[in-house]
Amino acid sequence: EVQLLESGGGLEQPGGSLRLSCAASGFTFSSHAIGWVRQAPGKGLEWVSVISGSGSSTNHADSVKGRFTISRDNSKNTLYLQMNSLRAEDTAVYYCAKGVADRYYFDFWGQGTLVTVSS
């Protein structure tokens, strides 16, 4: 059974940093792209970042480019999102989502971790 378990969310001040983690199990981790999608309270879905199965290719939304970095450790079956220079508009539930093989659609999602940026 595929499982994705996010952690690392919480309350942070504007300008601060957080590191999200996503522990994956139930599938061959290194064979799948995986990414982060966020949802601000009461709003729609916004893609944040995605990384290829090998980790050699990454892409970030313009809204987070230069502030957020996605990475993965295939030996630990874990995905990360380093979030720096946080802004109030980064407040959202962050979902870890598994890619459909090498396609950038997301067929399994974690339950999400809430990031709140506020002073």
Partner 1 sequence: EIVLTQSPATLSLSPGERATLSCRASQSVSRYLAWYQQKPGQAPRLLIYDASNRATGIPARFSGSGSVTDFTLTISSLEPEDFAVYYCQQRGNWPLTFGQGTKVEIK
Residues that bind partner 1 (CB under 8 A): 37, 44-47, 50, 59, 61-62, 95, 97, 100, 103-112
Exposure class string for 6-24: b at 16+ Cβ within 10 A, else e: bebbeebeeeeebebbbbb
- Gap between the Cα atoms of 14 and 76, Å rounded: 31
For partner 1, the closer CB: 30 or 46: 46
Q: Which pair of tokens denotes residue 86?
A: 């946080």
Number of Cα atoms under 13 Å in the Cβ half of residue 49: 23
Q: How far is the CB of 107 from partner 1 (least distance, A)?
A: 5
For partner 1, the closer CB: 13 or 31: 31
Q: How far is the CB of 77 from partner 1 (least distance, A)?
A: 19
For partner 1, the closer CB: 53 or 110: 110
